[in-house]
Structure 1
Amino acid sequence: MGLSPSELDELQTAVRLLETPGLATKISSFVGTPLEAGLKKLPESWHGTISTATRKSIEKALDVALLTLDRKERTAPANLLHKVAVGVSGAAGGTFGLAALAVELPVSTTIMLRSIADIARSQGEDLGCAEARLQCVQVLALGGPATGDDGAETSYFAARAALSKAVSDAAAHLTRHGLSQQGAPALVRLISQLSARFSIIVSEKAAAQAVPLVGALGGAAINTLFIAHFQNRGQGHFTVRRLERLHGKDEVRRHYERLSRD
């Protein structure tokens, strides 16, 4: 059987959450200036700072995913609670600006990951499985299209295709060896690919926090937009995966691509 009308409605919502223009537009509207201007104002040295902070955040997220996520019962995700927690951490970023990024980003990323895991469980994912846990971390790389994505594909499926081998290799390694070799090439490659994509969104966040007079309240608001963006991506991603388990990947993708063109 094909997708039911209610499942097609769910998939339509997932398309909207995954293919809607990214975080930059929302943040630009909030701060009242295009982020391109903020990105140009970032000192050259800060690009290295952002890269380092992003990689450390992905490494921390991977540790949290593999060591502390559990199989809790399938319940509605606590999105609001996680938004409040990330907003509090963002207040520090707004107060101290880019100097706080290296400290604040790993904290907010960890909170976002736990929120994404809540969403995954609500969609029937078994977080006792390494691959499902890695899918939670992968959501951090689904923030928007990256350079090199195939323009003939939807940005979501292009991103999934680009990351699929790294995720599957890392999952296979963890299944065979557990966490005994965390520096293994498969995990290093996954971290590098995730970091490269996540850093694009982090740069947009940093550019917004570089705007004068953002302040603590502004920093909290920017972080709330930040987590809402990834909650939406997570909701869309795990809805697609649930439907794929029921109907197969090819069937779901065929409908997804048709809905994305409508």
Structure 2
Amino acid sequence: MEPTPIASTPLSTDDLEALRHAKEALESPSLTMKLASVVGSPIEKLMAKMPNIAQEKIDEATQLALKKCLQLALRTLGKSSPFDSLMAPTPDKPHNLMHKLAVATTGAAGGAFGMFALPVELPVTTTLMFRSICDIARSEGEDIHRIDTQLQCMMVLGMGGPSKSDDNADLGYFIVRGALAQSVSRATNEIAAKGLSSHGSTALIKFLHTVASRFSVQVSEQVAAKSIPAIGAVLGAMVNTVFIDHFQQMAHGHFTVRRLERQYGQVAIERAYQTIDVSGSR
């Protein structure tokens, strides 16, 4: 499909193409569809077969995994990050494949042991995905040692799909981002005012819960895809690869948009984004 012309845009040709790729990433098929294509079964039916206690365990594991990521992020503020040795030496080359291979390994273990592996696997998988998102953020010119950047990275985990309370599963990127950004802003401002001792603050806890409520939906779908009897290590690795690839795409789209906003302003980028038609590319 030929690119849709955008009238009176201030963006250069290269930046307009970058924005187009960002929108394609942010509006790519849902994780549900991607997982279904791998396991060959509708995810909704697999989730319906999961016992109620499983969802409780998933919610608990999700909260714990995100909390560990946040604690690690806060401990590294203003210091050499433990992510640095995993990052590419140049800002335009994130190590996406390396992180996918690492997550595939944890997925193989999860496929072999099922729900029993979740409390151990999910924190590791989530931390690896968070590192990958940080890597992508830095490749787009972000300073990953800043609290607001790290919260933006965590926010990506809440952008991967609708929460259980969303009335509309097709909310646009800017609407979802705007709702989550308010939580990021409040948490960032509170930490800036009170210091890192405020990491147990109300604003930060609310932000964590907001992200967790959305991220747990994606985790539930991932667990459901691995709930097929005798799924095995190979398919478990494939499910985890799809899982991290989905969030890597979201991260590339989100941080590309932020990079362009720093250059052209949010209003100009949002207008250009809304005008781009990517329906024919999916």
TM-score range with shorter-chain normalisation? over 0.9
Whether the 8 Å contact between 1:17 and 1:232 is mirrored in structure 2 is yes
Whether the 8 Å contact between 1:21 and 1:144 is mirrored in structure 2 is no
Q: CA RMSD in A?
A: 1.9
Q: Which runs of no fewer than 5 residues in structure 1 stay unpaired?
A: none
Question: Whole-Å Cα distance in 2 between the matches of residues 2 and 118 of structure 1?
Answer: 28
2:31 maps to which residue?
Answer: 23
Residue 39 of structure 1, aligned match among 47, 69, 75: 47
Whether the 8 Å contact between 1:12 and 1:259 is mirrored in structure 2 is yes
Change (3 A) 1:65 1:48: same
The letter for the 2-side match of 1:210 is S
1:50 maps to which residue?
Answer: 58
Residue 214 of structure 2, aligned match among 194, 197, 201: 197
Residue 118 of structure 1, aligned match among 119, 135, 145: 135
Whether the 8 Å contact between 1:144 and 1:155 is mirrored in structure 2 is no
Whether the 8 Å contact between 1:77 and 1:119 is mirrored in structure 2 is yes
Query: TM (normalized to structure 1)?
Result: 0.94
The aligned runs of 1:170-209 (5 Å cut-off) are: 170-209=187-226
Deviations 1:29-53 (A, max 9, x none): 1111100111001101111101101
Shift of residue 177, structure 1, vs aligned partner: 2.4
Question: Whole-Å Cα distance in 1 between the matches of residues 265 and 166 of structure 2?
Answer: 24
With 67-76 and 43-52 compared, the bigger mean Cα shift is at 67-76
The letter for the 1-side match of 2:51 is P
Question: Whole-Å Cα distance in 2 between the matches of residues 134 and 194 of structure 1?
Answer: 10
Change (3 A) 1:261 1:227: closer
Deviations 1:134-158 (A, max 9, x none): 1111110110233565859852112
Change (3 A) 1:52 1:148: closer
With 65-74 and 18-27 compared, the bigger mean Cα shift is at 65-74
What's the secondary structure of 1:181's corresponding residue?
A: helix
Q: Which runs of no fewer than 5 residues in structure 2 stay unpaired?
A: 1-8
The letter for the 1-side match of 2:29 is P
Q: How many residues align?
A: 262
1:68 maps to which residue?
Answer: 76
Deviations 1:138-185 (A, max 9, x none): 110110233565859852112111111110011112222232132210
Shift of residue 120, structure 1, vs aligned partner: 0.5
Question: Whole-Å Cα distance in 1 between the matches of residues 169 and 243 of structure 2?
Answer: 28
The aligned runs of 1:1-262 (5 Å cut-off) are: 2-68=10-76, 70=80, 74-146=91-163, 155-260=172-277
Change (3 A) 1:145 1:21: farther
Change (3 A) 1:112 1:43: same
What's the secondary structure of 1:180's corresponding residue?
A: helix
The letter for the 2-side match of 1:49 is K
Shift of residue 102, structure 1, vs aligned partner: 1.3
Shift of residue 66, structure 1, vs aligned partner: 2.1
Query: TM (normalized to structure 2)?
Result: 0.88
Question: Whole-Å Cα distance in 2 between the matches of residues 144 and 152 of structure 1?
Answer: 8
| Percent of residue pairs bearing the same amino acid type | 45
